[in-house]
Amino acid sequence: MHILLILGLLATLLAPGSGLSCEECFSLGGPCSGPVLPCGPGEDACMSGMGHYTLEGRTLLIAFRSCLEPGSCRTTHFSLTFRPGVTVRANVTCCHEDGCNMGVVELPSVSSVPNGRLCPSCYVEGAGQCKRMEPLPCTGAEDHCVEFTGTLSAGNMSLTKAAAGCGTPGACQKRVGVTKYARGIFDTLTRAVCYPAPHGEL
Ligand SMILES: *[C@@H]1O[C@H](CO)[C@@H](O)[C@H](O)[C@H]1NC(C)=O
Ligand SMILES: *[C@@H]1O[C@H](CO)[C@@H](O)[C@H](O)[C@H]1NC(C)=O
């Protein structure tokens, strides 16, 4: 009897899948919600995230929730300004209990109050590098200078860009290589630079 019980327990523990269930959804354009589904093998974390891009009048909101491998799942939030009117805000949360990735995801708030720092800035889509940098006064909590080159892929959408500007310290977590934010959402960076923004005036 005891042996059977232990064998049964072992079978449960060794069964494929982690036993964790997470909400699964993806949307371009607004918040998303979906069913809570069992995770696959090796997916021992739940993530929820939102990215908001303002690209000179165009706005892109990406919302996503899924199971994820624990090694890929990172809690991070940041805001970036590459030019006035070209901004990125993102908030990604990682958790480890059934359905813990449900609920509202807030985007980091941004301030337009100058903080006395200055960074080289540029933004080019579809290019591997910036040709010309313009000095950009940083605002609010964006007290680091950043430079990123790479491609963000989400579903069938992809955005290749070379960008530089001001960012919050959270943006310094970005690394060269492929970062998987959720199932089907990848950021591939060929260049990632981050350093404290020097004080300066235009
Ligand atoms: C990120 O979203 C979580 C909810 O998923 C929220 O609790 C947190 O305050 C948000 N962080 C920022 C900086 O907006
Ligand atoms: C991308 O996928 C969405 C639905 O998932 C579809 O409506 C849209 O037409 C697709 N776009 C392209 C360029 O394939």
**Residue from 77, 95, 101 to probe ligand 1 pocket by mutation (most atoms less than 8 Å from CB):** 77
Q: How far apart are the first and last CA of the chain?
A: 79
Pocket of ligand 1 (CB under 6 A): 48, 77, 91, 93, 105-108
Question: Is the CB–ligand 2 distance for residue 184 below 6 Å?
Answer: no
148-188 confidence digits (pLDDT tens): 999 999 888 888 999 999 999 999 999 999 999 888 889 99
Statement: residue 103 has pLDDT above 70: yes
79-91 confidence digits (pLDDT tens): 999 988 899 999 9
Residue nearest to atom 11 of ligand 2 (CA): 156
pLDDT at 6: 53
Nearest atom (ligand 1) to Cα of 93: 5
Average pLDDT over residues 105-114: 93
* Contact assessment for residue 64 and residue 28, using Cβ atoms and an 8 Å cutoff: no
**Residue from 106, 109, 173 to probe ligand 1 pocket by mutation (most atoms less than 8 Å from CB):** 106
Please state the three-class secondary structure of the chain as a single string.
CHHHHHHHHHHHHHCCCCCCEEECEEEECCCCCCCEEECCCCCCEEEEEEEEEEECCEEEEEEEEEEECCCCCCCEEEEEEEECCEEEEEEEEEECCCCCCCCCCCCCCCCCCEEEEEEEEEEEECCCCCCCCEEEEEECCCCEEEEEEEEEEECCEEEEEEEEEEECHHHHHCCCEEEEEECCEEEEEEEEEEEECCECCC
Ligand nearest to the CA of 77: 1
61-84 confidence digits (pLDDT tens): 999 999 999 888 989 999 999 988
**Residue from 105, 110, 173, 181 to probe ligand 1 pocket by mutation (most atoms less than 8 Å from CB):** 105
Nearest atom (ligand 2) to Cα of 156: 1
7-29 confidence digits (pLDDT tens): 454 444 445 556 999 999 999 88
CATH architecture of 18-196: Ribbon (2.10)
Domain ranges of the chain: 18-196
Residue nearest to atom 14 of ligand 1 (CA): 108
pLDDT at 170: 95
> For 36-40, 118-122, 156-160, 186-190, which range has the lowest pLDDT when averaged over its residues?
156-160
| pTM of this structure | 0.84
pLDDT at 57: 84
Ligand nearest to the CA of 169: 1
Residue nearest to atom 2 of ligand 2 (CA): 156
